[in-house]
Chains A and B, each alone.
Chain A
């Protein structure tokens, strides 16, 4: 019986490392869309909400639940379209983990200022893409969130030493020095320029940025998310090693 259990476990570990264990896409739920900007009309709010939901679909289409882990649901209490200072596209406040995984976010603010481009078409050179700002802030909600003063996720911190994010052997340079919670939640431009999760997305057409393979692989490294990419992961080598060791142990015991 004991041998049988060992054999089964070993086979399961080997198989699980060779093929992705099936899991569904993560969920992102928004409880309330609002606008603290009186000049933002209901029509604009509805259009902005639709754009935000499109960005949510991009993240949920790219990230699946961790292997063997629980279903991840990120709940955002409020998305507020609000007048912010020039140059500040948005902010994410009050992220807390649930079971160690990204879970709750109190508020995401998206600027309605004149330097934001909410329309479709080419982004003018003096404006930044509102859709990309939304996608970027959602990136913080799903995991790019250094824990400081109760805001952020511990699993993200666990992969950071100094200003380097350890992606299972690949060190990604982050945009902040040690203890800079904001900088350590963004990828430095010296490592990857024009990435969605850089500190700033700039202005004009280059402010339109997609979710990159690097973004997804970093999230996979921190939280175990599954992605469409072949990301470095401990799972492959560690699980394969454990499985092979288990099989070898079983064979050795049989010979005895």
Chain B
């Protein structure tokens, strides 16, 4: 190609160059897309499997169930504190009991609003609490240890938790139980 003929062929040259660049970048992009799609597919399968193994989130709340949170140690001192949320048909109650180092156990019973119990049930379902394993975090100072006991549909599950605040799931469940109790009305 002579220099004199170059200007007249410039548009064709540019068009060709654009085509080449487009094809090349298109190849890279499509490779990227394939890779991402592959990853997405794998993740989708994993998610689907996880969803299948979990109970249906829409499962209605059973007529009778109970959850008991017992805490001791840490900055609770040697006192044992327990929150019990009990559902038996229309009877929905919360009991807070505290056993000090010396002296008698003190109890407070509250009547729980349906909405508060429903909120707790949602957390229990979302976390799949009946299959939530024990948790043993780093030992620290002032952090209490907890035991969570669930009784749902004739099945019982106990979760032991050390260093509770280091596990998002366990922390969420503990806070939900306490929150449910605090929304109660003294009887």
Contact = CB atoms under 8 A, between A and B. Distances in A.
Interface string B136-149: 00111111101000
Given A83-B175, A93-B163, A200-B75, A88 B140 contact: no
A134 to B, nearest CB: 12
A137 interface: yes
Interface in B113-149: 138-144, 146
B185 to A, nearest CB: 17
Contacts of B75: 87-91, 199-201
A192 B141 CA distance: 19
B94 interface: no
B144 A87 contact: yes
A92 interface: yes
A1 B76 CA distance: 62
A94 B140 contact: yes
A155 interface: no
B78 A199 contact: yes
B140 A91 contact: yes
Contacts of B74: 88, 91, 182
A149 B164 contact: no
A87 B71 CA distance: 10
Secondary structure of the B contact surface, majority rule? mixed
Given A91-B165, A93-B138, A94-B138, A199 B77 contact: yes
A84 interface: yes
B84 interface: no
Contacts of A145: 141
A85 interface: yes
Contacts of B144: 85, 87-88
A82 B141 contact: no
Contact of B174 (A85, A89, A114, A148): A85
B76 A140 contact: no
A87 B139 contact: no
Nearest to B83: A86
B143 A88 contact: yes
Taking each of B139, B141, B166, B175, which has the highest tally of chain A beta carbons within 10 Å of its own beta carbon? B141
Interface in A9-60: none
9 contacts: A85-B71, A86-B182, A87-B81, A94-B140, A136-B142, A151-B138, A151-B139, A199-B75, A200-B77
Going nearest first, the 7 A-B pairs with the smallest beta carbon separation are: A93-B140, A91-B143, A199-B77, A200-B77, A91-B142, A92-B141, A91-B140
